[in-house]
A and B are shown apart, each in its own frame.
Chain A
Amino acid sequence: MNTIIELFSYDFFVNAFMASLLAAISCGIVGTYIVSRRIVFISGGITHASFGGIGMGYYLGINPLFGAGIFAILSGMGIQLFSSKGKVREDSSIAIWWSLGMAIGIIFVYMTPGYAPNLMSYLFGSILTVSTSEIGLMLALSIIIILFFTLFYRTILYISFDEDFARTSNLPVNLFNYLLMVLISLTIVLNIRVVGIILILSLLTIPQATANVLTREFGRMMFYSVGFAFLASFIGLLVSYFADIPSGATIIFTQVILFGLVKLIKTISSSRK
C-alpha cells in the first residue's frame, strides 16, 4: 500500500492517474452513446483513419494529435456523407475511410526522414508518458462532454433510441448527429495516448458491456461505464508499472477480466433466485 502512495509523489504517475480518470469519464460517457446506438464499427473507422493525421503530423513536424484530430473529424463526416449522399453502403464507406487513413499514415511515416520517435506509443498507447498539456486537453474534453450530455440528456436519448420519431417531434436530429460525431472523434483522438489507436475501441465498448450487465437504463449505464473504465484503467496502470509490461494492453486485459467477473457474479446470483 505504501508503495502505491509513494508512487503519487512522482509527476509521471500523477499524470498517468489523471489520464486514466479523464479517459474513463470521456470514454465511459461517449462509449455508452456509441454502444447504445450500435455505431461501434463507425468508431473503429474513425480511430484508424486518424492514423493518417498522425503520419502527417510527423511529416510536417506538427503535433501528431492535431493531425489525428483533423483526420478523425473529417473521416467521421466523410463516412456519413458517403453513405447518405453518395449511396455507398455504410459498412463499405467505413472500410474505405478506415483503410485510407491507415494508408496515408504509413506513407507519411515512411517519407519522414529518420526515425519516427514515439510512433509505438500512438499505436499501442503509453499512459506513463502522457504530458501535462495533454492532461489539460483531456480535462477540457471531459468537461465539455459532461456539460453536453447533462444539458441535452433527453434529446440525445430520444434521438439515439428512435431517430424517425425524434424527427417527427421536430428535434434537431441532423445537428445532434454531427455534434456527437465530433465529440466521438475528439474522444478517440485525445485518448489515443492512453491505450493507442489499436486498442482505443476497447475503452469505448468493454466498460459499457460490463455496465450493461447490471443496468439497462441509458443514464445509469453512463455512470457505471465511467466507474468500470476507471477501475480497470487504474488497476491496469498499477499492474503494468509493477510487472513492467505495456500499459495499454494491461488496461484492456483488466477490462475484460472485470467484465468476465461481473458477468459471472450476475449469472450466479440470478440463477440462485
Chain B
Amino acid sequence: MKKLLEIKNLSAGYDNNIVLENISMEVFSGDFIGVIGPNGGGKTTLIKTILGLIKPVSGEMKLHISKTNIGYLPQVNQIDKRFPISVIDVVRSGKANSALFSSFHKNTEEKGKAESLLAEMGISAIRNKPIGELSGGQMQRVFLCRALMNRPELLVLDEPSTYVDNTFEGELYLKLKELNEQMAIILISHDVGTISFFVKTIACVNRSLHHHPSNIITEEQLTSYNCPLQIITHGNIPHTVLKLHDEHDHHEHNH
C-alpha cells in the first residue's frame, strides 16, 4: 500500500477561528474513508486543507502525490449555477493544468477523455447544455466527471448526495465502490447510515478527528470519542443520525 498523504498534529481554520485542532491522519491507496460530523465541525476545512486551499495554522500536511493527482468534487452550493458554461467545458476544466495556453484550439485527446467520461456516466446527451439547466443528479455526475479527468490517485468528494434523488444516490455509491478499485476515496457526508455500507473506514470530525478502523460504529465508540452521533435501529437496518443535527443547523454556513 502506498501512502498518499499524512497529516500530523495539524490545526487549521479561518482568521482567528480554529476549526480543526491538533488532528492527525494518514491516507493510503485503496482507502475509502467516510468523513462524518456535525455542520461546522470542520469536514470541509479538512478537505480544503488536503487540497492546499487553506494553509494550516500549525502542524503539517504532507502530500506524497502531486496536487493535480487529487480529484475534487466541491459542494454544489459553492458553484455559481448561472455561470455561462456548458457541461463539456466544465468536464474539460478537470484537466486545467494543461489549459494554460490551450486557448480555442481543439485538444482532441482531452476532449475525447471528457466525452468518454460523459458516456460512462450516461450523460452524453446533455454535453452542450449550460450547467444552469441541469438537475441535481446530472450536476453531480458532471462534477464527478470533472474530478476524474486527471485519472486521480485520490478522489475527494464534499457531500455529493445533496440535491439528488435516491436512485442516483444509490448509483453514485455503487460507482464510487467501483472507482475505489483504482483510487483512494475520501467522502464527506452527513448521511452516516447510508455511507457506512460503502466506505471501509469512518473518520469523525468535530474540531478533533478520530479515524475509526472500520465502517461499523457503535454507540460506545462514538461516546468515548466524543462524536456527536446516535445510532438508532429500524428493524435490521442500522440507521445513524447526528445528535446535533437539528433544524437550525441546516441554516448554518458549512465550513
B is a partner of A: yes
User: Does any Cβ of B come within 8 Å of A178's Cβ?
Assistant: no
> Are B68's CB and A162's CB within 8 A?
no
> Are A153's CB and B51's CB within 8 A?
no
**A155 contact from B53, B78, B99, Cβ within 8 A:** B99
Within 8 A of A (CB), among B87-108: 89-90, 92-97, 99-104
Residues of B within 8 A of A154 (CB): 92-93, 96, 99, 102-103
Q: Cα distance A171–B99 when bound, in Å? A: 8
> Are A165's CB and B84's CB within 8 A?
no
Q: Cα distance A40–B225 when bound, in Å? A: 48
User: Does any Cβ of B come within 8 Å of A152's Cβ?
Assistant: yes
Q: State the Cβ distance, A87 to closest chain B Cβ, in Å.
A: 7
> Are B83's CB and A158's CB within 8 A?
no
Interface hub of A167, A169, A171 (most chain B Cβ within 10 A): A169
> Are B84's CB and A152's CB within 8 A?
no
Closest to A35 in B: B84
User: Does any Cβ of B come within 8 Å of A217's Cβ?
Assistant: yes
**B89 contact from A32, A157, A167, A168, Cβ within 8 A:** A157
Residues of B within 8 A of A167 (CB): 51-53
Known: A168-B72, A216-B130, A216-B132. A221 touches B84 (CB 8 A): yes
> Are B74's CB and A164's CB within 8 A?
yes
Q: Cα distance A166–B98 when bound, in Å? A: 11
> Are B104's CB and A168's CB within 8 A?
no
Q: Cα distance A221–B132 when bound, in Å? A: 15
Report whether over half of chain A's contact residues are helix, strand or loop; otherwise say mixed.
Answer: helix
Q: Cα distance A142–B132 when bound, in Å? A: 31
User: Does any Cβ of B come within 8 Å of A215's Cβ?
Assistant: yes
User: Does any Cβ of B come within 8 Å of A170's Cβ?
Assistant: yes
> Are A36's CB and B83's CB within 8 A?
yes
User: Does any Cβ of A come within 8 Å of B237's Cβ?
Assistant: no
User: Does any Cβ of B come within 8 Å of A126's Cβ?
Assistant: no
**B84 contact from A153, A166, A169, A215, Cβ within 8 A:** A215
Within 8 A of A (CB), among B105-123: none
Residue total for A at the interface (Cβ-Cβ under 8 A)? 31
**A166 contact from B67, B78, B96, Cβ within 8 A:** B96
Q: Cα distance A171–B101 when bound, in Å? A: 11
Residues of B within 8 A of A155 (CB): 96, 99-100
> Are B103's CB and A150's CB within 8 A?
yes
Residues of B within 8 A of A108 (CB): none
Q: Cα distance A164–B50 when bound, in Å? A: 13
User: Does any Cβ of A come within 8 Å of B79's Cβ?
Assistant: yes
Query: A204-237 toward B: CB 8 Å interface, digit per residue (1/0)?
Result: 0000000010011111010000000000000000
User: Does any Cβ of A come within 8 Å of B85's Cβ?
Assistant: yes
User: Does any Cβ of B come within 8 Å of A266's Cβ?
Assistant: no
Residues of A within 8 A of B94 (CB): 169
User: Does any Cβ of B come within 8 Å of A151's Cβ?
Assistant: yes
> Are B93's CB and A216's CB within 8 A?
no
Residues of B within 8 A of A99 (CB): none
> Are B72's CB and A165's CB within 8 A?
yes
User: Does any Cβ of A come within 8 Å of B70's Cβ?
Assistant: yes
Q: Cα distance A152–B101 when bound, in Å? A: 6
User: Does any Cβ of B come within 8 Å of A161's Cβ?
Assistant: yes
Known: A36-B84, A150-B104, A218-B85. A161 touches B74 (CB 8 A): no
Query: B178-192 toward A: CB 8 Å interface, digit per residue (1/0)?
Result: 000000000000000
Known: A167-B52, A217-B86, A221-B84. A162 touches B103 (CB 8 A): no
Known: A152-B101, A168-B67, A169-B96. A161 touches B90 (CB 8 A): yes
> Are B84's CB and A171's CB within 8 A?
no
Q: State the Cβ distance, B189 to closest chain A Cβ, in Å.
A: 20
User: Does any Cβ of B come within 8 Å of A160's Cβ?
Assistant: yes
Q: State the Cβ distance, A63 to closest chain B Cβ, in Å.
A: 34
Known: A164-B53, A164-B78. A158 touches B103 (CB 8 A): no
Known: A165-B72, A165-B74. A157 touches B103 (CB 8 A): no
Residues of A within 8 A of B150 (CB): 169
Known: A150-B104, A165-B74, A216-B130. 20 other contacts (CB 8 A): A87-B15, A151-B101, A152-B101, A153-B103, A154-B103, A157-B93, A158-B99, A162-B78, A162-B93, A164-B78, A165-B72, A166-B96, A169-B97, A169-B150, A172-B100, A215-B84, A217-B84, A217-B86, A218-B85, A219-B104
**5 pairs across A/B with beta carbons < 8 Å?**
A155-B99, A158-B99, A165-B74, A166-B96, A218-B84
By a beta-carbon cutoff of 8 Å, the part of chain B in contact with chain A is 15, 48, 51-53, 67-68, 70, 72, 74, 78-80, 83-86, 89-90, 92-97, 99-104, 130, 132-133, 146, 150
By a beta-carbon cutoff of 8 Å, the part of chain A in contact with chain B is 32, 36, 38, 87, 150-155, 157-158, 160-162, 164-172, 212, 215-219, 221
8 smallest CB-CB distances across A and B, nearest first, come from A216-B130, A169-B96, A154-B99, A158-B93, A153-B103, A216-B84, A158-B96, A169-B97
